[in-house]
Amino acid sequence: MPLSAITWCITALATAGVILRPWRLPEYVWALGGALLLVVCGLVPWPAALAAVAKGDDVYLFLTGMMLLAELARREGLFDWLATLAARQARGSSQRLFDLVFAVGTLVTVFLSNDATAVVLTPAVYAATRAAKAEPLPYLFICAFIANAASFVLPISNPANLVIFGSQMPALGPWLAQFSLPSLAAIALTYLVLRLSQRQALRQPLEQVDALPPLSLGARLTAGGIAVTGVLLLVVSALDLQLGLPTCLAGLATVVLVHSLQKSNPWPVFKGVSWGVLPLVAGLFVLVEALTLTGVVGALAKALEQWAQAAPVQVTWGAGVLVGIACNLVNNLPAGLIAGSVGHLASLPSETTRALVVAVDLGPNLSITGSLATVLWLIAVRREGEHVSAWTFLKLGALVMPPALLASLAALQLTH
CB 276 within 8 A of CB 318: no
Nearest to 397 by CA among 28, 35, 42, 147: 147
Query: Using CA atoms, how far apart are residues 164 and 356, in angstroms rounded to an integer?
Result: 8
Whether 187 has a pLDDT exceeding 90, the answer reads yes
Q: What is the mean pLDDT of residues 213-218?
A: 85
Nearest to 320 by CA among 188, 155, 154, 186: 186
Q: Range with the lowest mean pLDDT among 49-53, 144-148, 210-214?
A: 210-214
- Dihedral angle over CA of 46, 47, 51, 54, nearest 10: 70
pLDDT score at 166: 57
- How confident is residue 140, by pLDDT bands cut at 50, 70 and 90? very high
Q: What is the mean pLDDT of residues 175-204?
A: 92
pLDDT digits (tens, 9 = 90+) for 165-176: 655 667 677 888
Q: What is the mean pLDDT of residues 84-110?
A: 86
- How confident is residue 315, by pLDDT bands cut at 50, 70 and 90? confident
Alpha helices in 135-276 (DSSP H): 137-149, 159-165, 172-197, 217-238, 244-262, 267-272
- Residue 234, Cβ neighbours under 10 Å: how many? 16
* Alpha-carbon distances of 260 from 184, 232, 252, 253, rounded to whole Å: 43, 22, 12, 10
> CB pairs under 8 A, 24+ apart, for 175-178?
177/415, 178/354, 178/412, 178/415
Whether 3 has a pLDDT exceeding 80, the answer reads no
Whether 107 has a pLDDT exceeding 90, the answer reads no
Q: What is the overall mean pLDDT for the chain?
A: 84
Q: Range with the lowest mean pLDDT among 75-84, 182-191, 344-353?
A: 344-353
Q: DSSP state, 118?
A: I
Whether 416 has a pLDDT exceeding 70, the answer reads no
Q: Cβ neighbours of residue 265 under 8 Å, at least 6 residues apart?
A: 259
Query: Using CA atoms, how far apart are residues 345 and 51, in angstroms rounded to an integer?
Result: 19
pLDDT digits (tens, 9 = 90+) for 341-369: 776 666 777 788 888 899 999 999 999 87
With b for 16 or more beta-carbon neighbours within 10 A and e for fewer, the 32-43 pattern comes to bbbbebbbeeeb
Query: Using CA atoms, how far apart are residues 253 and 260, in angstroms rounded to an integer?
Result: 10
pLDDT score at 163: 67
**Secondary structure of residue 384 in the 3-state scheme:** coil
- Residue 215, Cβ neighbours under 10 Å: how many? 17
pTM of the model: 0.80
Residue 367, amino acid? S
Query: Using CA atoms, how far apart are residues 156 and 62, in angstroms rounded to an integer?
Result: 11
* Alpha-carbon distances of 307 from 113, 272, 365, 373, 413, rounded to whole Å: 33, 49, 26, 31, 17
pLDDT score at 308: 79
Q: What is the mean pLDDT of residues 276-305?
A: 82
- How confident is residue 210, by pLDDT bands cut at 50, 70 and 90? confident
Q: What is the mean pLDDT of residues 271-275?
A: 84
- How confident is residue 58, by pLDDT bands cut at 50, 70 and 90? confident
Host H or E run for residue 298: helix 296-310
Q: Which of 206-210, 314-318, 342-346 has the highest mean pLDDT?
A: 314-318
CB 342 within 8 A of CB 307: no
